[in-house]
Each structure stands twice: as structure tokens, then as C-alpha cells.
Structure 1
Amino acid sequence: MTEKILNAWYRGAWWLYLLQPLACLYLWLRSWHIYRQPKLGKNLLPLVVIGNITVGGTGKTPLVVALVAALKSKGLRCAIISRGYGSKVGAGPHCVTAEDNAHTVGDEPLLLSQLTGVPVVVGWRRKSSIAWLAEQKQFDLVISDDGLQHNAIKGDVEWCLLDATRGIGNGLCIPAGPLREPATKLSQVNQVFTTGMPSSTINANIKHYMQGHTLCHLHPRLDQLKRVFDDLVVPWPDVAKPMFAVAAVGHPKRFFDDLRHRGYDVDGKGYADHYQFKEHDLPQHELIMTAKDAVKCRSWAQAKNNEPPKPWLYATQSLTIAPAQIDALLLELGL
């Protein structure tokens, strides 16, 4: 999705209302698809779905990582399922291994596998992924990375994540706006989270659709800085030094702003989410990228042909989920 369209959606450009007939068609096709789906039965394993209702990055990956860490600390055995956007896996299921790469399984599943250390199963048939995990008889629950709009599954608990600085934009569905489904979905999920810089106006707009449910704000932060070629942790550079950064994520500007909040003068270049970098896209000098981009660029950064490794770095991101949220989740799952 081009940055111009995203900006128009979230800025509320007037001409987007001319596309409302197409948005109505999109909703009709979605309703027709849901109607044709067989009736959903009980999940073979307790299922937590973490997703969003908007186009553009909201920070699901750090939330999934934090949730896995919290559950592991309580002795629970969990696994992750993912569609694997851009992967070659197809319907799956395919469990990510150390031999896989981002081109094969997708950048997000590979990153989740590396960051969490739990099985990540890829395939667009998420129900089949859950069935495969259930057959292993090794897991207490499954976390679906995205999937609120995947009609073949329904989470026992569903968490929705929104960008606090963007909210729901103009409140219209694709292609007239950024919504994947109507904002009334916010009243149907178990918990709504926001990330980014909160705005009282946007929060009020979100709460309007939540029908009294509690809105919880998360505070993701840039954590460690690592070398792309070998994942070694390095010190953050002097803020007096200008920084070149790239990001191929749902909201590149937020990554650049996070770096600026650390005091850096950032020259940032954003790409479309999941963009497959070409080697000539990246300069030979030092740059900083996201962890999601690093999994696609690691092989290029490594030393070869008697040349030194590329001086590329990437920043990890972390957040903390309140213990009360974890306790409420486990209560709702009956665990």
C-alpha cells in the first residue's frame, strides 16, 4: 500500500468518500464469504488471536513476543500460527526451522521463531495448522499472529491492536478507508490495545465503538541494537552522529520517530510492508533497520569474496504486558 494512500486514509481526504460504493461492495463480498463458511466448531487447542482492523503497522509482532514470554514464565507451552505473507509455503502447515529463510516462510514468521524460541507454523489454512499442533500433544495453547479477518477460525480470546496516533482513520472500509472490517468489531473482541503516542481525540473515537470495554495502552520501545550479520549486541552510537535508517514495515515513520526520540538525527527511507530488498537498495555504509528487515538482509551483510561484513545494524523492540492482562487472558481460556 503506497504511503500516499495511507496518508489520505488517516488524514481523512474528502475524495475518499467517492469510493464508498466500492467499500460497500467489499463489505458485501466479505459477508458473502463469511456466510459460505461452514459453522465453526470448538478449537482443538485454546486459541488466542492477535490482530487489527486497520491497514498499516500497529506493532503486533512485539505484542506476540511479549505474550509468549509471559506465558512461558508461567510454565505454559505455546505455539504460534501465521499465514506467512509472501511465503512459498502455501496452504501448509509448515513448521519454521533453522534452515528456512524469509523468502520461503515470510519475514514475520522467521522473526517470531527467532525471537520466541517456540514453534511457528506457517500456512494460509490456519485451521490445519491448529490441527497439526494438536496432533503433537505438546501444547497448552496457540497464538495466531493476525487472523481477526480469517473466517475459518474464531479465537477463544481475541486481542485487537490499533495505532494510537492514527486510530481508525476516516472510519471507512477498504478502499475508501483503512478498515479491514467495520469499527464495530472493537466491541466484539476481548481486549483493545493501542501503541504509539496516544491522542485524547483518537482514544475517544476508538472508545465510541468499544461499548464500555477497557482500552489499554502499550508502550513499545526500542531495546537492543544488534549487528545484522551475526546478531551480536552493540552499543547505541553517539547521538551526535547522523543516522541513515530503512524500514519495510506497515508504518515506517513510526520507526524513524522512535529513533528520533532517542535523540538521533535520522535520514529515513521507508518501503512497503514486506518489501523484498534488492542488494542495491542498501548502501555499503552504516545504517539501522528493523528486526523484521534484518532477517531478509542477513545473508547480504555477511562477509564474502574477501570483503568485510556490511556495517548494518538493527534495533529490537520490546514491550511489557501488565500481569493483570495475562491473568485475565488465562481466566478466559480456562487455563
Structure 2
Amino acid sequence: MKKGILLVNLGSPESPTPQDVKTYLGEFLMDERVIDLPYIARAALVKGIILKTRPKASAAAYKKIWWEEGSPLIVISERLQAKVQKEIEYPVALAMRYGSMTIEKGLKQLVDQGVDEVFLIPLYPQFAMATTETILVLAEEIRQAHFPNIKIDHLPAFYNRPDYIEVLSNSIKHHLESKTYDHVLFSYHGVPERHIRKSDVTKSHCKLDGSCCKTPSKAHEFCYRHQCLEVTRLVGEKLNLKPDTFSTSFQSRLGFDPWLQPYTDRTIERMGLEGTKNIAIVTPAFVSDCLETLEEIAMEGQELFHEVGGKEFTTVPCLNEENAWSELLAKWINNWADTTATT
């Protein structure tokens, strides 16, 4: 069988215009694994409220971070794809869960090159319904409908792999070595609390009571909250951070249902009000800088911190197309290829 690689990230609007942002948000928010309400309720919320009010504001936010080459997320992902391709002998395609760079197009690009065994890599360190799961479910639907003769394998969540933690920790250390900071805040994209319970394979472990994420369980394989906390803990250990100098928070909540806490914006505000003068923000739920890191954290977060008395606000870039990251992906790909060649 001829092997091929499909890297998959979130996606982006075609341009930072209200119409293109509306089209993108419509596809994104109507995904039943993103807003997990019954279709009628989801459509009423998304089409009846959100898409009538949010596209203009979101377009303005995208415009602030848009590069000459295009969407930062897309440009960075393409650069990463090119670097990984140089490291391995297998064809590498790039797709997005939402937008015009579809998973179907990515698979077709590989099939057209004779590939019949695909290693799909969701570019998310942690598992979540709204990220990894929706990619894998859609990829399988597309395979059955359009490419029934290919086989798809995938990279599981890699949040706790020692080599990933080493690459992430080294990157953070490099970007902070000349900076002044009193506290490192690990900010992860938030999800509704109900997503955690829905992903609990035991149907009883995830109580979100402060202890379940620390108690060993099969539920942790698919528990986004546990996996985020583990990244923070493992990087903290790797960098020898003192317990009171780093913490975890969650950003980008939507709607009025309870989401994972503590919230990043409120944490930044509280720390500034309590006298923290220098803070560094790391965003390990993302491997590529995007709207949530470049605008929500680096711009809005910094403005908020300064408003409440903070001074130095440092944002650590994502891994993006760093050599160590592309080389690690290439190593995982080659390991997969070697393993599948013998089975």
C-alpha cells in the first residue's frame, strides 16, 4: 500500500470580510460537535442570533491579525506542511475542518498520487469533541462516500508524549529567556462543561469537582480538561517552575452555559488587580497562531492587563513551523510508517 499523510487544522474565512466570516462561522457553529444542541435549537441560535450579530465584529478582529499572504493559521499550516514534506518520503497534504480547504480535497490530492493508506494527523495536542472528534468523524464519512478503497489511520492526542512536551517546553523557554515575568498563564481554548461529560467513556468519572482529573481513569483518554491540566503540569515540571508561578485558564467561551473555568480574561484581570506586574501567556491548545492567540490574547488580553495595572505582558508564540516541531511530526510519521509496514 502507498502511504500518504493528511495534516488537518481548524480552518479560516477566505478573507476578513463580514460575508466571508459569516460563511465560515455558519459552517463552524452549525457543527453538532461544536454547538451540541438539537438541530432546530442550534439553527435558531446560530442562524437566528449569532450570524446576525457576530460576523461584523469577528471580521474586524480577523482584519487586525490578517497577513499579506492571507490567514495566519493557513499560512503557518502551509509552511509546516512544506517543512514536514522535506523530512519524509511520503506525500503530505493539508486540509481544514472548515472552509474551502476541505478534508475531501486533501484526501483526493493524496488518492490522485496513488495513496491508499492515509495517516491523518489532527493538529490538536488534546482530544475534544469540537476538534479531534469532528475531524475523525467527517473523514470517515468522506472515506465511505468517496474513497472506500483507502484506509485511514490517525494520530491520537499527543498532549503527554515526552518528546512533544520537550519540544513545547524548549520553545517556551527560548521565548521567555530574555523576558520579565512573575507568572506564566497556560491558556487553553474553552469548551462547555457538558462536552467533558459527553466524552466520558465511563459515564461516571468526570464530575468536574476538582479531583476527577487527578484520579486515574480510562476517561482521561478523551477528557479535554484532564489533558490540558496535564500539559501545564508536565511543562511546569520540565521548566522547573515553582507551583505558585504558573496556572491554567480557559478562553473563548460562547453563550451562557457553564464552560471550563477559570476563564482567561477574568484571570488576567484578577491577577492585575492583585498586583501581578509581569505575566507571560502560553496557549498550548493551539499548534499554530490564529485569531484566538493573536487577537484575543496578544491584543485584547494585553489591553485588559494594562487597564488593571499590569506592566509587562508577554505572549509566547505557538510551535508554528519551528524546526523542532516539524522534525517531531516527521519522526511520528516515520514511526507510524515503519509500524504499519510490519503489520
Q: Report the TM range for the smaller structure's normalisation.
A: 0.3 to 0.5
Per residue, is there more strand in 1 or in 2?
1
TM-score of the aligned structures, taking structure 1 as reference length: 0.38
TM-score of the aligned structures, taking structure 2 as reference length: 0.37
